[in-house]
Amino acid sequence: MGFVLHTLPFLAILISWINAEQVVLLDTTAEEVMLDWTRYPYGPLSSTPGWVEESFTNFQKGINWRSYVVCDVAYNNANNWLWTPFIDRGDANRIYIEIKFTIRDCSLFPGNALSCKETFSLLYYEFDAATREPPPWDAERYKLIGRIAAGEGRFNSNSEVNINTEVKSIPVTKRGVYIAFRDQGACISLLAIKVYYITCPEVTINFARFPATPTGKEITIIEQAQGTCVDNAEVVGGAPIYLCKGDGKWTLPTGGCKCKSGFQPDLEKQTCNLCQPGTYKSEVGDGPCLACPKHSQGQDYGLSECRCNQGYYRAPTDPKNMSCTQPPSAPLNLTVNFVDQSTVFLTWQPPENQGGRNDTVYRLRCDACSGGLVQYNPSTETFNETRIQISGLNAVTTYRFQVFAENGVSHLSLRPNAEYANIVVTTEASVVSSISNIKVTSVKSTEITLEWDAPITDGDLESDQVETYEVRWFPRNEEYSNSTSFLITTLKATITGLQQRTEYGFQVRAKTPRGWGAWSPVIFHTTGQVLNPAFVGPQEGFRLQLVAGAIVVIVVVLVAVIVLTVVFVRSRSNDECNKKQPSDCDTLEYRNGEVTTPLFTGISGSSRTYIDPHTYEDPNQAVREFAREIDAKCITIEAIIGGGEFGDVCKGKLKMNGAEIDVAIKTLKAGSLDKSRNDFLTEASIMGQFEHPNVIFLQGVVTKSNPVMIITEYMENGSLDTFLRANDGKFKVIQLVGMLRGIASGMQYLSEMNYVHRDLAARNVLVNSELVCKIADFGLSREIESATEGAYTTRGGKIPVRWTAPEAIAFRKFTSASDVWSMGIVCWEVMSYGERPYWNWSNQDVIKSIEKGYRLPAPMDCPEAIYQLMLDCWQKERTHRPSFQSIVKTLDKLIRVPDTLRKIAQNRSANPLSADAPDLTQFTSVEEWLNSIKMTRYLENFHAGGINSMDAVVNLTVKELTELGITLVGHQKKIMNSVQNIRAQIRVNGNEGFLV
């Protein structure tokens, strides 16, 4: 991820100047000899002069082109043909024909023009081989590209010559093509003809080289190119992929390469260069070569790590950028802090030189410590504390202790032993009797009082007199080493600061001039167990009363605050509800026997709230408030790209503030009723309230002149469902999830604005050239006439059943939760590359199946996490569905951790046992079955692979399809879906798809 962020600014600059390249197949302006193209009619016996080859010159502009002219306006039924030579298409998927021509105005031929026209036809014929004679010119063989007219104007004798330029394009699949020009009575000069195709140029990006890639057969088709790493780089983060758009520009690079260790990247030149002497690079990545760390050197080129100087070392776990280090020196000031008959306590200070590291540890060696009675604390072989206690020693015994200092490179050192400090200690004599008769005389919540008898001695010798007592205590089940102690000279001790209701162990020992005696046996007692008030002191009793009283006061105050808050909120809520329209409240009211449903929910907390344009008496007022009026003079319509409910949808240009941008233009049909005009403007009033990167942006409206227009941003790739079907199988899962994240983000914004879309579907999501998805189509009164659109008629309008939640179908209950159901269907559409939900089922079958609990199966190769998200969106109880905010968070987590998308959901049968499902078990031959799914093109593949019976078909796998030569993802999916349905119909009787 770090690599992507580091190189993004560079990529943005690089991509901006990579333009499309033309590969020229034919260019008459480059010819210096006669073209000698095939003409008909031609020769002395022809009925008309026909096409004539000549030169077109303009010495001022340096033009001397071979051209063809025809001007048979004085003949009836002129029919003149001109063919190019056979043009080999090479690698082209789509070729472009650029024509420079002039046409004379028919007004120049008054009276003599029997068949004067001002257009000519452009045709083509695909063929797999060049022939001496062009193919027959009858219309059945040739495909019409278009009729060409003078866009820049015609010319007459009183004006300058107007040269027109026209560019047409066609998809090609065979080896080559003939281009034909057909004149039927015009006066034309074909000045220059150029035939070419467009490629995304060869480019190096993300340290991967991508070859020149021809664009797809259609403008909207994206071609995927796989790159190869530059020298001294390797693939990181997935194979390098670059998408070539239909306009010849690259977009959306994914994956890539990074420079190997020992090589640093040159972002500008996109090369990996050797590290210079004295520098190194230890990992594959986009980082630079670094200077050798301290106490190391590198004398060669291309080092992945620098060698340590003599006497310095690097541990195997040390990062390569860490300085080389040394073993530590010996510990300082080794001291005996305590010694008695069986115990020695040693302390010391850290070494003066720790070798440049912070992982120094210590190790103890004792020459005379043998047997299993000796114990150490700390008990590990090595430790990092500067103290140690040795117990279980013999009395009056001399011991030699060595404390070694070591670190992470000590084992690499040439010295056999680490540096150490040593000390000699002799333990004391053990002659003191132990304490007896220890008893607990007082217990409180945090303190206990102990008493004991003095040890028994043999006489009144001074060496037997007790100097002091040591009392120690510790919680039960803990080590003696975790005990706490203090010294006292009396036969009574009070231990304070204990934990309430905790069991402690207590011991006492005595010290005489001859040393310490043994510890007394442990006695255990629990604090705070005595319930008799006589055992609670007056100060403690007062504290208990004070705490109890404070708790009661706090509880009473909290209850009062909660009650007052609830009363205030309820009264405020009722006041606000009384002020609103009935549809704004939480409950639904019945008017005239019908349930009224608001167009938006009453969610609170958003900084902006959607305002329903229907609340305005005059729709024009709503438009003026929410949309910008644009002067029609600023708009240029270039082409009609579709048709809508209200009129045409066009592509055009909008000139604003000196800039010109591409826009989409919706027009209102001339003569539309007032209702249609109001509905048309309502959509603009809705759209004008939204501003979000994943919601279509309204540029403005034209209402002061005809036709009335809505101007929005232009989305190059059109609707999401059509775009996915055209690019089936071409995207990585992470890219599809990114599209879903954009859609969910847009819907989160709309839901937070309290807007309910009602018709969220892939057809109502638009895609721009950068694959950004945006919510569109905000018309709330659409009239869906076609049954294929899946609209189910209820009172008050039609509902798109396949995308609509069951409560919205049954009760017209539209909420953000019903939009979440639709979001689940959109997820299914995206992961299945635009497949139709519920396939060819009728609307009634869809409704009945959903009510029974049926849900769509996981699309092919769909990650389990995405399918689980779909099922969450399809919960029958709308309150159980996730919010759009939750959906966005879920998708963000999946994008941040792509490994969670690796597990593929089980591809369940698409309800093959429903009543209207075809009986797939009736097929007796492979050919008959393939014909039923229109895949007979692969019959020979099946026979060659030994798949000759339906029994063999049932056991097919995707891997076997690939081995049979069936590699198109869409065809694999279609075949495997049919195979799975056959299996289900054979294996199961009565199961209906996937129930939740």
CB burial class (10 A; 0-12, 13-18, 19+) of residue 465?
exposed
* pLDDT at residue 580, as a whole number: 35
Cα separation, 931 vs 928, in Å, equals: 5
Mean pLDDT of all residues in the chain?
A: 82
Please report the sign of the dihedral spanned by the C-alpha atoms of residue 359, residue 365, residue 371, residue 374: negative
Task: Say whether 645 counts as a known binding-site residue.
Answer: yes
**Between residues 268 and 160, which one has the greater pLDDT?**
268
Cα separation, 187 vs 555, in Å, equals: 102
343-347, 460-464, 741-745: lowest mean pLDDT where? 460-464
* pLDDT at residue 12, as a whole number: 38
Q: Check whether 727 has a pLDDT greater than 90.
A: yes
What fold is seen in the domain 715-908?
Answer: Transferase(Phosphotransferase); domain 1 (1.10.510)
Tell me the mean pLDDT in the region 24-31: 92
Tell me the mean pLDDT in the region 729-736: 91
Q: Which residues contact 536 (CB under 8 A, 6 or more apart)?
A: 444, 445, 530, 544
Task: Say whether 647 counts as a known binding-site residue.
Answer: yes
Q: Are 362 and 419 in contact (CB under 8 A)?
A: no
24-28, 210-214, 778-782: lowest mean pLDDT where? 778-782
* pLDDT at residue 555, as a whole number: 64
> Residue 857: pLDDT band by 50, 70, 90 thresholds?
very high
Task: Name 100's bridge partners.
Answer: 165, 192
| CATH superfamily, region 21-199 | Galactose-binding domain-like (2.60.120.260)
Q: Which residues contact 269 (CB under 8 A, 6 or more apart)?
A: none
Tell me the mean pLDDT in the region 596-620: 61
Q: How do the domains of the chain map onto residue ranges? A: 21-199, 201-259, 331-427, 438-456+465-527, 611-671+683-710, 715-908, 926-990
Query: For a pLDDT cut of 90, what percent of the chain falls above it?
Result: 44
Q: Which amino acid is at 883?
A: S
* pLDDT at residue 371, as a whole number: 66
62-76, 251-265, 439-453, 982-996: lowest mean pLDDT where? 982-996
Tell me the mean pLDDT in the region 744-756: 94
Task: Say whether 523 counts as a known binding-site residue.
Answer: no
Please report the sign of the dihedral spanned by the C-alpha atoms of residue 611, residue 614, residue 618, residue 619: positive
CA count, 13 A, side-chain hemisphere, 42: 11
CATH class, domain 438-456+465-527, is mainly beta
Catalytic residue check, 759: yes
Cα separation, 975 vs 929, in Å, equals: 10
Task: Say whether 644 counts as a known binding-site residue.
Answer: yes
CATH class, domain 611-671+683-710, is alpha beta
Residue 317: closest CA among 237, 452, 409, 196? 409
Length of the chain: 996
Task: Say whether 238 counts as a known binding-site residue.
Answer: no
Residue 813 belongs to what H/E stretch?
Answer: none
| CATH superfamily, region 201-259 | ephrin a2 ectodomain (2.60.40.1770)
* pLDDT at residue 599, as a whole number: 36
What fold is seen in the domain 926-990?
Answer: DNA polymerase; domain 1 (1.10.150)
Q: What angle do CA 981, 983, 987 make, to 5 degrees?
A: 120
* pLDDT at residue 467, as a whole number: 86
Is the previous residue joined to 265 through a cis bond, with omega within 30 degrees of 0?
no
- For tokens 């977009």, name the residue: 251
41-50, 125-134, 723-732: lowest mean pLDDT where? 125-134
Task: Say whether 646 counts as a known binding-site residue.
Answer: yes
CATH class, domain 331-427, is mainly beta
Given 612, 679, 759, 819, which residue is catalytic? 759
Q: In CATH terms, are 438-456+465-527 and 926-990 the same topology?
A: no
Q: Which residues contact 539 (CB under 8 A, 6 or more apart)?
A: none
- Supply the Cα-derived Rg of the chain in whole angstroms: 45
* pLDDT at residue 917, as a whole number: 57
Residue 644: closest CA among 784, 780, 766? 784
Q: Check whether 855 has a pLDDT greater than 80.
A: yes
Tell me the mean pLDDT in the region 764-788: 71
Q: Check whether 418 has a pLDDT greater than 60.
A: yes
Return the SS3 of 25. strand
Q: For residue range 970-993, what is the model confidence (pLDDT) as tens digits? A: 788 788 878 877 876 675 433 334
Helices 864-873, 884-896: crossing angle, 10 deg rounding = 180
Q: Are 964 and 947 in contact (CB under 8 A)?
A: yes
Sheet strands (E) in 247-386: 250-254, 257-259, 263-266, 271-274, 279-280, 290-291, 296-297, 307-308, 332-339, 344-349, 361-366, 375-377, 382-383
Tell me the mean pLDDT in the region 237-261: 92
Cα separation, 973 vs 205, in Å, equals: 33
* pLDDT at residue 84, as a whole number: 92
51-60, 647-656, 783-792, 956-965: lowest mean pLDDT where? 783-792
Q: For residue range 184-200, what is the model confidence (pLDDT) as tens digits? A: 889 999 999 999 999 99
Q: Which residues contact 245 (CB under 8 A, 6 or more apart)?
A: 200, 215, 222, 251, 769
Distances (CA, A) of 420 to 350, 360, 375, 401: 11, 13, 21, 10
Q: For residue range 555-601, what is the model confidence (pLDDT) as tens digits? A: 666 766 665 665 454 444 444 433 333 333 322 333 333 333 333 33
* pLDDT at residue 273, as a whole number: 95
Q: For residue range 137-182, what is the model confidence (pLDDT) as tens digits? A: 565 678 999 999 887 666 666 556 778 999 999 999 999 999 999 9
Q: Is 768 left (phi over 0), alpha (psi -120 to 50) or beta?
A: beta
Q: For residue range 813-840, what is the model confidence (pLDDT) as tens digits? A: 889 999 999 999 999 999 999 999 998 8
Task: Say whether 642 counts as a known binding-site residue.
Answer: yes
Q: Check whether 903 has a pLDDT greater than 80.
A: yes
Please report the sign of the dihedral spanned by the C-alpha atoms of residue 944, residue 948, residue 953, residue 955: negative
Return the SS3 of 914. coil
